[in-house]
A = this chain, B = another copy of it.
Amino acid sequence: METFGREMMYSVFRIRKALYTLIREDATRVGITELQLIILYTLSKKDNIRLNDLAEKLNMSNSTISGTIERLVSAELVIRKPSKEDRRAVTLHLSEKGKEKLQEAFNDESLLLQRLQKVETTLAKEEIETLLALQQKVRTILLGEE
């Protein structure tokens, strides 16, 4: 009778959906998709990353990332360069246009940023820390690592 476990599962699905809907709003406003925006943001935090490392960071298969990077390169938002150290590898960088697009998506209008801000101001610091700790605990169990 896994009632609590299943409730937790549905709860996670609902929050994830709510977050994705907010991301989609910002992304659509500037004419790109959710994943494309997530990738632009990730590249802004970590330049010069390899494709497989990006896939691992985002918890996605490299085939998914490869296709999306292809479209971002076509749109001239990302630059894909062959790696100097390893000729099999490519390294990824934001173009100027990509940086501008990211700025435009996450500007003052961004509902996602407003709502995340609201989460931080509404919940007590200890509540957020408790939430993160419990979620980490759940994830560890789900991965069968404990």
Per-residue CB contact flags for chain A residues 119-134 toward chain B (1 = under 8 Å, else 0) read 1101101011011101
The A interface is mostly helix, strand or loop, or mixed, namely helix
Complex interface: chain B residues within 8 A of A115 (CB): 141-142, 144
A81 CB–B CB distance under 8 Å: no
Complex interface: chain B residues within 8 A of A14 (CB): 59, 139
A85 CB–B CB distance under 8 Å: no
The reply to whether B116 and A137 form a contact with Cβ atoms under 8 Å apart is no
The reply to whether B131 and A8 form a contact with Cβ atoms under 8 Å apart is yes
A2-B113, A11-B135 are known contacts; what are 7 more A-B pairs with Cβ within 8 Å? Answer: A8-B119, A13-B19, A17-B59, A18-B142, A18-B143, A115-B141, A123-B137
Q: A-side interface residues toward B, CB under 8 Å?
A: 2, 4-9, 11-19, 22, 59, 111, 113, 115-120, 122-123, 125, 127-128, 130-132, 134-139, 141-144, 146
Nearest 7 interchain pairs by C-beta: A5-B116, A18-B142, A16-B16, A131-B134, A11-B135, A2-B116, A17-B59
